[in-house]
Structure 1
Amino acid sequence: MQCDYFDAGVCRSCDLMGVAYGTQLAGKDAHARRLLERHPDAEWLPPLASDPEAFRSKAKMVVGGTSAEPTLGILDEARIGVDLRRCGVISTGIRAAFDPVAAFIARAAIEPYDVRARRGELKLVVVLEAPDGSLMIRFVLRSREAEGRMRKHLPALLAAVPTAAVVTINLQPEHKAVVEGPDELPLTPVDTLLVRLDDVTLHVRPGSFVQTNTGVASALYREGAEWVAAAAPRSVWDLYCGVGGFGLHVAARAAADGPGMRVLGVELSAEAIESARAAGVPGTRFEVGDATAFAERSDPADRPDVVIVNPPRRGLGARLAGWLEREGPASVLYSSCNSVSLAADLERMPSYRVDRARVFDMFPQSSHYELLTLLTRRVRRAGAGSPSRGR
């Protein structure tokens, strides 16, 4: 892929830009295999490719410039706005909304936030696109100062972007490296974007985490559900469940084979849990809570046959990995956006072997990727270390 912004040196976010896509994919697969080389018996499936261009279904654009001429993109080293409205990795549907969004900012006279001077209002515009083309547009502001003007000019924005289903204001008043705040003000009657993936519809509310590559995410959830189904579990925990991507797909896949499986999802974000519950998939239950604390206080009689974990980039950490090592089930489905932290967690879980692994290229043009692994508890001989709970 060729990118004018990259060639001009104004944006280097895509560190593999210009590298042949096949070479990118092979390099990511090789990197994952090296990190998991202590599991030589793992079955490695071929890496799953993405569309190398226009794949991003979510864009977080820093707002710079002036209210009359705003930039949407990033800030340079001097904290000056760099406009990236034509970025080729962002979906065409989102890109089509950028010019009308910029015109809306100018019409409503919303002053972009100046990081150096610590003044202004508008920090970010966050746009999410569903597979059907509908959009969620969120304006991250310091205060409600511009709310009246935004409501006044909202009809013009909706007319210019007919795919905009959800428009909100997020309030983030503090000057710190936190993308968004806890308060969301809906400007449209609808505040939930419906994201349909296969037979599951995710109900995405503002602030809920969703993968940035819908096409690859759909394949990731589908394959994860198939791997879990092969273990024939009666109960599954989905820790760090977000809006329920894995758990809902696992439950929907199980329902096709008949009732009986129970899926429990745990996530710290109340917004995400509300979204997961709204999907209404039978056999599922979702709770707000910290994944590690939930596991540690669980009753042994209620523990599942399979645990799914999809942690942030830092990984599971010593406590949750330690709990899985001591108390975990026969199978763990681990989806990681940082294979380095995954490898560190595996070192803390020597009772598990990597049974199966596959790279999902969620982030073409960059060195990042998603790695899905199926972990199986080793069967140990009596007296050889900790006793096995394998079934």
Structure 2
Amino acid sequence: MDCSYYAAGRCRSCTQIEVPYPEQLATKQREVSDAVGAVEWEPPFHGPEAGFRNKAKMVVAGTIAEPTLGILDRGGLGIDLAGCPLHERAVVAAMPALRELITRARLTPYSVPERRGELKHVLVTGSPDGELMIRFVLRSSEALPRLRKHLGELREQLPHAVVISANLLPAHAALTEGEQEIPLTEAQLLTMRLNDVDLLLRPGGFFQTNSTVAAGLYRTAAQWTDELAPGSVSDLYCGVGGFALHLAAPDREVTGVETSAEAVDGARLAAARRGAAARFEVGDATATAYLDADLVVVNPPRRGIGELAARLDASRARHVLYSSCNPATLARDLAAMPSLRPVRARLFDMFPHNQHAEVLVLLERR
């Protein structure tokens, strides 16, 4: 992938960009193979090397007249990366209109060194159908009237921006967003259509960064599950229901568990619209009572499943599908489940040009 920002020394986020992509894949395959061991490995799944990122987390800096959208340098000053080639085309195309809005609405970029200003971040998510979710992260509600005043002009420029909101982050902290979300459009659900499944994403909700590869991940999970033909499935850390809704079948009891009530609401609505035989509950996946399903799916954050591994090992689950974004914690968790043997695995490259790797592992009861 060619990147003018990298070539100019303005951004070094893509640490592996100078490594040929086939070599990147081979290195990641070795890392996940070391973590999982000798199992039946399917060929790595990957998408395009550029234009794959469906979400842009842009730090706003500079001035009202000349705002930057990108990252900060070591001194806290803005580096503009509005044309980052990692982002999907629709996300990149929205940046000029967002820059104009900042100037027109006089949204003062937040200065980290001076700890003053209002607009901290602009977060843009693109759906596979080309629709957008746009979130403005503000220090306070002071700029909300000006933002609302010019919202119509932004929507004229970006008619495919179906979800717009403001998020308040008062603290001077290394955070992307705060707890309070203020809707600016009636619609607050972005439809993320993967395969033939519509997943519904709310502002602040988690979704896989690479829609193309996420679709491949869910297809693979569905294929493996259909071959196992379990009567019951528990999807822990289910989020908006990506795995659960792909694994749902008329003769299969599927339950998703997630701590985020907003994500569960979206998953329930998606299931109802699809007519899927899946139910979703708000709960702590590490303390869930659904470990005795025929198949348990876990898709934890980078820290892994921790104490849940021992409980899964002692459960009556015949199979476990573990989707991991961290080979180190995956290896630790597999070692804590000696009664469950890894039998099948596949690498999914969600993050070209860096060292992160996603891997799906199927385990079966010994």
Code of the aligned partner of 1:20:
P
Give the equivalent residue in structure 1 for 2:255: 264
Give the equivalent residue in structure 1 for 2:365: 377
Post-superposition offset of 1:149? 0.6
For residue 327 of structure 1, give the secondary structure of its aligned residue in structure 2.
coil
Any unmatched runs of 5+ in structure 1?
Answer: 379-391
Any unmatched runs of 5+ in structure 2?
Answer: none
Code of the aligned partner of 2:299:
N
Match of 1:306 among 291, 295, 309: 295
Q: Could you give the per-residue CA deviations for residues 54-103 of structure 1, whole angstroms, max 9, x where no partner exists? A: 00011111111112211111111111111001111111110000011011
Q: Could you give the per-residue CA deviations for residues 134-163 of structure 1, whole angstroms, max 9, x where no partner exists? A: 000001111111111111101111111122
Give the equivalent residue in structure 1 for 2:27: 27
Aligned equivalents of 1:348, 1:67: Cα separation in 2: 53
For residue 207 of structure 2, give the secondary structure of its aligned residue in structure 1.
coil
Which aligned pairs between 1:109-120 and structure 2 lie closer than 5 A? 109-120=106-117
Aligned equivalents of 2:88, 2:57: Cα separation in 1: 13
Aligned equivalents of 2:13, 2:295: Cα separation in 1: 37
Code of the aligned partner of 1:294:
T
Code of the aligned partner of 1:162:
P
Please state if 1:85 is matched with 2:82.
yes
Code of the aligned partner of 1:191:
Q
Normalising to structure 2: TM-score of the pair? 0.97
Please state if 1:54 is matched with 2:51.
yes
Aligned equivalents of 1:130, 1:160: Cα separation in 2: 18
Aligned equivalents of 1:202, 1:345: Cα separation in 2: 29
Match of 1:361 among 349, 356, 366: 349
Match of 1:106 among 97, 103, 107: 103
Q: Could you give the per-residue CA deviations for residues 207-241 of structure 1, whole angstroms, max 9, x where no partner exists? A: 11001110110110111111122221111100000
Aligned equivalents of 2:83, 2:135: Cα separation in 1: 19
Post-superposition offset of 1:328? 4.7
Conservation of the 8 A alpha-carbon contact between 1:325 and 1:348? yes
Give the equivalent residue in structure 1 for 2:159: 162
- What RMSD in Å do the two structures reach over aligned CA positions? 1.2
Q: Could you give the per-residue CA deviations for residues 9-47 of structure 1, whole angstroms, max 9, x where no partner exists? A: 22111111122111111111111112223xx2x100110
Give the equivalent residue in structure 2 for 1:334: 322
Please state if 1:235 is matched with 2:232.
yes
Aligned equivalents of 1:214, 1:95: Cα separation in 2: 16
For residue 46 of structure 2, give the secondary structure of its aligned residue in structure 1.
coil
Please state if 1:210 is matched with 2:207.
yes
For residue 279 of structure 2, give the secondary structure of its aligned residue in structure 1.
strand
Aligned equivalents of 1:178, 1:75: Cα separation in 2: 13
Aligned equivalents of 1:181, 1:328: Cα separation in 2: 40
CA change 1:32–1:220 in 2 (3 A) is same
Q: Could you give the per-residue CA deviations for residues 260-280 of structure 1, whole angstroms, max 9, x where no partner exists? A: 211111111111111111102
Aligned equivalents of 1:48, 1:169: Cα separation in 2: 36
Please state if 1:285 is matched with 2:303.
no
For residue 227 of structure 1, give the secondary structure of its aligned residue in structure 2.
helix
Give the equivalent residue in structure 2 for 1:69: 66
Conservation of the 8 A alpha-carbon contact between 1:207 and 1:271? no
Aligned equivalents of 1:196, 1:357: Cα separation in 2: 25
Match of 1:316 among 289, 296, 305: 305
Aligned equivalents of 1:153, 1:87: Cα separation in 2: 26
Post-superposition offset of 1:118? 1.8
Give the equivalent residue in structure 2 for 1:381: none
Post-superposition offset of 1:288? 1.1
Aligned equivalents of 2:125, 2:100: Cα separation in 1: 19
Code of the aligned partner of 1:283:
A
Code of the aligned partner of 1:88:
P
Aligned equivalents of 1:285, 1:67: Cα separation in 2: 47
Where in structure 1 do 4 or more consecutive aligned residues deviate above 4 Å?
Answer: none
Aligned equivalents of 1:345, 1:337: Cα separation in 2: 13
Aligned equivalents of 2:191, 2:26: Cα separation in 1: 34
Aligned equivalents of 1:308, 1:186: Cα separation in 2: 33
Q: Could you give the per-residue CA deviations for residues 326-368 of structure 1, whole angstroms, max 9, x where no partner exists? A: 1151100000111111011011111111110100111111111
